[in-house]
A and B are shown apart, each in its own frame.
Chain A
Amino acid sequence: MTTIAQVVSLIQLSSFPFIFVNDLTSARLTATSLIANLDAKQNIQTVRIDAIVCFTPRLIFDTVINGFTHWEPSWDDGCMNWSPDDQQLNKRYNDSLDAFLHGLKDMQSHLSKKNQIPPRMVLVVEYPERLKEGMPETLVPLTRLRELSNLDVTVVFVSAQRWEDIKPPLGAALDPYFVDMGIPTKEGEYAILLPLHRLTMFPAVMKQISSSFTDHLWSMPSSSSSPNPYHPVFQPLYVQYLSFVYDICHTFTDDPSEIGYIAAARWPGFVKPIIDGYKLRSEEAGPDEAIELEVPTTEFIMRLTRHFKPSLSAALEKLYPRHTNAADWAAANEPNESVLDQILGLPPSPTKSHHATDDEGMEEDELPQIQSSPTRPRSERIRSLHSASQPQTDYFLPLFSFNPNESSSSTPSSVALANTLPRISRFILISAFIASMNPAKSDLRMFGRGLDGKKRKRRVIRTKKQTKPTSGPAKIPQRYLGPALFPLDRLIAILGALLEENDAPDSEDMPDEFTIPGEYTDMEVRRVGIYASITQLTNLRLLVRTSPPERLDGPPMYKTGPGVASSYEDVSIIAKGLGITLSDLIWEREN
């Protein structure tokens, strides 16, 4: 496995014109550390091009030339780009590739005037797949930059995709020197983790985790009178903590920056008991006594980790899909002062601890966390307890949430939706879901009534497990394909049937002129208010109108919008709130 160090030594010794680094999990961190390592070498100049930021060739050219010359365009002089001297101010290096190559040459001669030896230039391109999508004409010249410019320049692509997916057709680009970074593991290479511990080596992945968010914090000054979580004393503990977080998270994600995000969110809470203890001790001690902030004992650390282990899994579930952000999560899950007592005075028997915690009136969610042993996975009950006690700070209307939590009835998105929407809109939403998911031919069976008002018995049709594959293309169940289109009329009809069955007015409320059963509801569902609600739902994008508004022939077509409205689980929660069992109304549902 080629490492970054080998790439650096390749570039330093005698660079290859074009290098392709494939890194599935942490392309960004790899690019960062590659640049940091290269910058540390003498006579190598690097420029980082993010193909997302540089979305036109002109931006790439300007970034490269300004980057190599360390030129910062300033507002006062009209945001001028770099130019070799004052006489050639009107010279532009960003018009075309030619101009860019001329610029590179001018810049090289300018730099070598300054440094005697012309520096070796390295272009690190991130997200090169964007080049292929946005400006394929620059891809080939970039790979051949050395032979085109005749300068000592190396182009490094760092991508999560493979070169085979990016490379231009017809063998136009040179074949790169391939570097596969692989997926970081704890057993992999070792690196220096923190600046204070130069002698001890740690797994490189830890380095990546720590470098993603918290490295700069350690260099901030921290007075020992009011210690912050990034006090130098905590560094050994931090290393242990990182490895502990990694062990929990790495089955779910290998991305060091994701793990780093979670670790950064939990760390202040993790050391808070220690800091609290220190504060207590310094309060107890007289003003003359100097209390040293010290690393706690191994036993204390073990208790600490055991205490915080469940909250890390919870953090993973919340933070990895970004249901909330790290700052909010850390604020919501900050341990209170009683945690320290708990960890310190944790009696051996779990019952007593139970008792103790009750007495202290601590947060509810801390209770099961202590009981769960580090090895045993948490039971369903505990998890539901835990999620029930989640702070409901995110009580907004997450209409487009991609990952609605399906497991419990406390799902914020559907609850929020059920609470915000008017009753009739909720009925519309459910009927829209039914219309989207059921084939039209099933409507009569599902909702048909005779003139006598009695509902026909619905023959229970459940899809059986397909025993033998039938010939021809397989029929894909609608729940896999997502919502289908339906005309507005069908929606109204299903809505009528739903209302009649679940929300029918009492017979005495009904005006006398309606004699046929369902006639009143039929009239009600044609009211303007219903149409207005549908339009409102469309504005919320819970429904999507697929036919253009200017089309007059035929009824307008709709389907349920992406997100909550198309999710069976969420809609069935809403339906439950209205007393409807959704699973009875869906044509083919396996579960």
Chain B
Amino acid sequence: MGTKRKSAPTPTRSRPAKRITRRDKNNDQEDSDDQLDCLPTPSRPTRRVQFSTASLPPPPVPYPSPSKPSLKNSTQLQTPSLSPPPRPASPTKKILGNLLPHHHDCLDDYKRAILHNLQSPDVVHEDDEDLNAPANLLASHHVTDLLRGTTERNEGNSCLLLGPRSSGKTRIIEDCVSQLPEQPIVVRLSGWIHQTDRLAMREIAYQLDQQTSSTLLQDIPGDPDEDENPFVSSESEAISGLDSIPTAHLHALISCIPTLPRSTIVILDAFDLFTLHPRQSLLYSLLDTVQSLRMGSGNKGLAVVGLTTRMDTINMLEKRVKSRFSGRMIRTATPRKIVEWINTARGILMPRHTGDDDRMEVEDESTFREMWNNRVEEFLSDNKTVRILEETFSITRDVRTLSRLLIQPILSLTPASPWLTSDQLEQSAVTQRIRPPYPYLHQLNYPSLCLLIASVHMEKTGYPAITFEMLHECVRDRIRTSSSAPIQLNGRSIGMTFETLISARMFVAVAGPSSTIGKEFVRYRCAVHRQDIKQAVEKCGQTNLKTWLSKGY
């Protein structure tokens, strides 16, 4: 309570108090929402409470802090939100001075571990999966059932895994495949690489060859009665040289997939792109093979799993392909609530396993962990942090955006400033979330800004397509009339500046290049918006340019 008497923190404290009530309501609602989702997990309510308190702004009583100096530090960390310059003052250094030398390694390990988490944020997601992602959990149940049917009962199965970007489609299917008791043959195709059926077929042959070659070569002489024998042998030829096989034969290869010694799972990433192939023949033969699998005929199972973000993919299938597709569509989802979002961030920021545990002493590690976790809680309950995260959540629910948002604050941690601050997050939000169209516009040199302003004036005069000649004349006149320009325009060396701007695509050519048109007469359009130019000119502080620009307004 001693800290509360200080003047600085009180305003920050009073505001969160309002928030608490609002957010409490939110949490209540979420609980009821989740119950509607009917995922019976008895441990949930207790854990939820634990998490929601953590996500709340700090109650008036500060967190139990390990030492007195860090208490000082906590007030220090909150002041920046009131007064902008977050300079590390002496108290910070003092604590760090008596804490840090052996904690440097800890910090590095934490950075490494957190960055590792950031790469695949769903790992953490999965830890809290029963809380956070019921859709994904259901999806993974479904997929597991399906794949088990294929591997254990030799069924032919097909399904589509639908979901927005970074909602965990690939993760779910990979996890399910890796958890299968009997390892199937897995063929992974991607619509981005296999733009034609021919490429896809060759890749299927290659991957089958990689995963079965030893067994396949032994099996062939043993089963001379198989119908598909000629095709299998054609595949064994494929081992020697895939190029020699005609494309027509490659198609026959698919129908002999069930005769392989193990069941096969074909994963088609970017499934919607496969539907764009002519006649969809690859999809047809795959799904046809799946459908015609008979139980008990001695064949092994085949599952075809398509992953796509496109919701209307099923409509893109041709009729004959669609009728062979099972129609199973399993959906994945991104986090649906802000609490999940913040918890994901918390999960990322509090790594469970850090680097080489044996290298550092356990004591150091545990004290550091305690301090670190306290700091992360403080960071996550900071008003600004919460605001930025909420904003991000309302723009996009892409978890990758969240992780990109957190990279820069993590990277800028140094032994001198080892804790996360909301200011860093704010900076990173500017560069990573919704980027300003040209972040460096105000730093451009004088001639470039002149050209941009001239283009604004030209546009106002009624010439939307500008040539260099126009801009040159405009800038030249301006520089002649103004006495205080810092540069003098001698010759046309401003043309080099213009070319720099063209290479940055601030000026975009209207028509293609032609050998008969002189460079100065090629028509361009200014890609920078007038408002951005205005802001940049105001920010760069050249009065000269400001008056010139305002002359047109």
- Kindly supply a per-residue 1/0 record for chain A positions 155-177, scoring 1 wherever the CB is within 8 Å of any chain B CB and 0 otherwise: 00000111011000001101101
B115 CB–A CB distance under 8 Å = yes
Assess the A2–B408 pair: CB atoms within 8 A. yes
Q: Which B residues are CB-close (under 8 A) to A567?
A: 520
Given contacts A174-B400, A254-B445, contact A320 B496 (CB under 8 A): yes
Assess the B443–A183 pair: CB atoms within 8 A. yes
Given contacts A251-B446, A252-B445, A320-B496, contact A148 B193 (CB under 8 A): yes
B-contacting residues, A365-393, CB 8 Å? 377, 383
Main secondary structure, interface of A, reads: loop
Q: Which B residues are CB-close (under 8 A) to A185?
A: 443
B93 CB–A CB distance under 8 Å = no
B202 CB–A CB distance under 8 Å = yes
Q: Which A residues are CB-close (under 8 A) to B435?
A: 164, 178
A482 CB–B CB distance under 8 Å = yes
Assess the B445–A251 pair: CB atoms within 8 A. yes
A310 CB–B CB distance under 8 Å = no
Q: Which of B33-41, B278-286, B291-299, B500-508 contacts A (4 or more CB under 8 A)?
A: B500-508
Assess the A10–B407 pair: CB atoms within 8 A. yes
Assess the A98–B206 pair: CB atoms within 8 A. yes
Assess the A321–B193 pair: CB atoms within 8 A. no
Complex: chain A residue closest to B487, CB-CB: A251
A-contacting residues, B152-208, CB 8 Å? 165, 170, 190, 192-195, 199, 202-203, 206
Among the listed A147, A404, A479, which residue makes an inter-chain contact with B469, where contact means beta carbons less than 8 Å apart?
A479
Given contacts A102-B206, A174-B400, contact A481 B115 (CB under 8 A): no
A-contacting residues, B409-435, CB 8 Å? 411-412, 431-432, 435
Q: How far is the CB of B488 from chain A (nearest CB, A)?
A: 7
Among the listed B112, B437, B487, B490, which residue makes an inter-chain contact with A13, where contact means beta carbons less than 8 Å apart?
B112
Assess the B440–A183 pair: CB atoms within 8 A. yes
Assess the A317–B490 pair: CB atoms within 8 A. yes
Among the listed A98, A129, A175, which residue makes an inter-chain contact with B199, where contact means beta carbons less than 8 Å apart?
A98
Q: How far is the CB of B539 from chain A (nearest CB, A)?
A: 13
Q: How far is the CB of B529 from chain A (nearest CB, A)?
A: 13
Q: Which A residues are CB-close (under 8 A) to B444?
A: 183, 254
A235 CB–B CB distance under 8 Å = no
Assess the A404–B492 pair: CB atoms within 8 A. yes
Q: How far is the CB of B40 from chain A (nearest CB, A)?
A: 34
Assess the A16–B443 pair: CB atoms within 8 A. no
B116 CB–A CB distance under 8 Å = yes
Q: Which A residues are CB-close (under 8 A) to B505?
A: 129, 161-162, 165
Assess the A161–B520 pair: CB atoms within 8 A. no
Assess the A182–B490 pair: CB atoms within 8 A. no
Given contacts A9-B411, A182-B440, contact A407 B490 (CB under 8 A): yes
Assess the B440–A16 pair: CB atoms within 8 A. no
- Kindly supply a per-residue 1/0 record for chain A positions 1-35, scoring 1 wherever the CB is within 8 Å of any chain B CB and 0 otherwise: 01000100110011111000010110000000000
B439 CB–A CB distance under 8 Å = yes
Number of chain B residues close to chain A: CB under 8 A = 67
- Kindly supply a per-residue 1/0 record for chain B positions 376-405, scoring 1 wherever the CB is within 8 Å of any chain A CB and 0 otherwise: 000000000000000000000010110010
Complex: chain A residue closest to B412, CB-CB: A6
Assess the A403–B491 pair: CB atoms within 8 A. yes
- Which interface residue of B165, B486, B488, B496 has the most chain A CB atoms within 10 A? B496
Number of chain A residues close to chain B: CB under 8 A = 76
A-contacting residues, B458-490, CB 8 Å? 461-463, 467, 469-470, 473, 486-488, 490
Given contacts A96-B199, A473-B462, A479-B469, contact A250 B490 (CB under 8 A): no
B495 CB–A CB distance under 8 Å = yes
Complex: chain A residue closest to B116, CB-CB: A14
Assess the B493–A252 pair: CB atoms within 8 A. yes
Q: Give A9 to B446 CA distance when docked, in angstroms.
A: 34
Q: Give A479 to B521 CA distance when docked, in angstroms.
A: 9
Given contacts A251-B445, A251-B446, contact A482 B467 (CB under 8 A): yes
Given contacts A180-B439, A406-B492, A562-B518, contact A474 B461 (CB under 8 A): yes
Among the listed B487, B503, B504, which residue makes an inter-chain contact with A252, where contact means beta carbons less than 8 Å apart?
B487
A62 CB–B CB distance under 8 Å = no
Among the listed A98, A180, A253, A546, which residue makes an inter-chain contact with B203, where contact means beta carbons less than 8 Å apart?
A98
B519 CB–A CB distance under 8 Å = yes
B375 CB–A CB distance under 8 Å = no
Complex: chain B residue closest to A322, CB-CB: B496
B70 CB–A CB distance under 8 Å = no
Q: Give A546 to B517 CA distance when docked, in angstroms.
A: 11
Among the listed B118, B411, B486, which residue makes an inter-chain contact with A2, where contact means beta carbons less than 8 Å apart?
B411
Q: How far is the CB of A418 from chain B (nearest CB, A)?
A: 19
Q: Which A residues are CB-close (under 8 A) to B518?
A: 402, 482-483, 561-563, 566
Q: Which A residues are CB-close (under 8 A) to B443?
A: 182-183, 185, 254
Q: Give A247 to B435 CA distance when docked, in angstroms.
A: 31
Assess the A321–B495 pair: CB atoms within 8 A. yes
Assess the B516–A544 pair: CB atoms within 8 A. yes
Given contacts A253-B445, A321-B495, A480-B463, contact A6 B411 (CB under 8 A): yes
Assess the A24–B500 pair: CB atoms within 8 A. yes
Assess the A180–B193 pair: CB atoms within 8 A. no
- Kindly supply a per-residue 1/0 record for chain A positions 243-257, scoring 1 wherever the CB is within 8 Å of any chain B CB and 0 otherwise: 000000011111100
Q: Which B residues are CB-close (under 8 A) to A14?
A: 112, 115-116, 118-119
Assess the B440–A180 pair: CB atoms within 8 A. yes
Q: Which A residues are CB-close (under 8 A) to B190?
A: 141, 144, 148
Q: How far is the CB of B383 from chain A (nearest CB, A)?
A: 25
A97 CB–B CB distance under 8 Å = yes
Assess the B486–A251 pair: CB atoms within 8 A. yes
B81 CB–A CB distance under 8 Å = no
Q: Which B residues are CB-close (under 8 A) to A403?
A: 491-493, 495-496
A405 CB–B CB distance under 8 Å = yes
Q: Give A172 to B516 CA distance when docked, in angstroms.
A: 38
Q: How far is the CB of B409 from chain A (nearest CB, A)?
A: 11
Q: Could you jot down 29 A-B contacts, CB within 8 Å?
A: A2-B408, A6-B411, A9-B411, A14-B115, A98-B193, A98-B202, A141-B190, A144-B192, A148-B193, A161-B504, A161-B505, A164-B435, A165-B505, A171-B309, A177-B404, A177-B432, A178-B432, A180-B440, A182-B443, A251-B445, A252-B493, A254-B444, A402-B492, A406-B491, A480-B463, A480-B469, A544-B516, A546-B516, A559-B516
Question: In the complex, given contacts A377-B488, A562-B516, what are 16 additional A-B residue pairs having Cβ atoms less than 8 angstroms apart?
Answer: A13-B108, A14-B119, A16-B115, A98-B194, A144-B190, A175-B398, A185-B443, A251-B445, A251-B446, A252-B447, A254-B445, A404-B491, A406-B491, A473-B462, A479-B469, A562-B519
Q: 3 smallest A-B Cβ distances: which pairs?
A: A482-B521, A562-B518, A474-B462
